[in-house]
Amino acid sequence: MITCRELIDFLDRYVDGVLPAPVAASFEDHLKVCPQCVDYLHSYRETIRLAGEAWCDDEVAFEDVPPALIDAILAVRGRAADESA
C-alpha cells in the first residue's frame, strides 16, 4: 500500500484517470484506511471544480496568461512526471 506522501504525488494522475491499474488499486486501498487522504482528495477535486468555474468568464482568455507563468507550470508538471517514471 502507498503512503500519504505517495498518494499526494499521484493525486493529479489519479484524478485524471491515467495511473496504471496496480498503482490506482494501491491508491484506492490507501483511501479505504485513511480518512485524511479521502478528505484531501475531495478538497482537491473541489479546487479543480472551482477553478473551472472561474475560467468560465468570457473576459479571461488563455492569451491573457503570462507566458512565464505557463512555462513555470509546465516545468513543474514535467519534473513531477520525470520523478514518477
* Segment among 11-20, 37-46, 54-63, 65-74 with least mean pLDDT: 54-63
DSSP 7-68: HHHHHHHHHHT-S-HHHHHHHHHHHHH-HHHHHHHHHHHHHHHHHHHHTT-TT--GGGS-HH
Please give the model's pTM, rounded to 2 decimal places. 0.62
First to last CA, the chain: 18
**Nine-digit cell at 25?**
488499486
Q: How many CB atoms lie within 10 A of CB 19?
A: 19
The pLDDT of 10-15, averaged and rounded, is 92
Q: Is 70 exceeded by the pLDDT of residue 37? A: yes
Per domain, the residue ranges of the chain are 4-84
State residue 38's pLDDT score.
Answer: 96
Q: Is 70 exceeded by the pLDDT of residue 60? A: no
Q: How confident is the model at residue 13 (pLDDT cuts 50, 70, 90)?
A: very high
d(CA 77, CA 10): 12
The pLDDT of 9-33, averaged and rounded, is 94
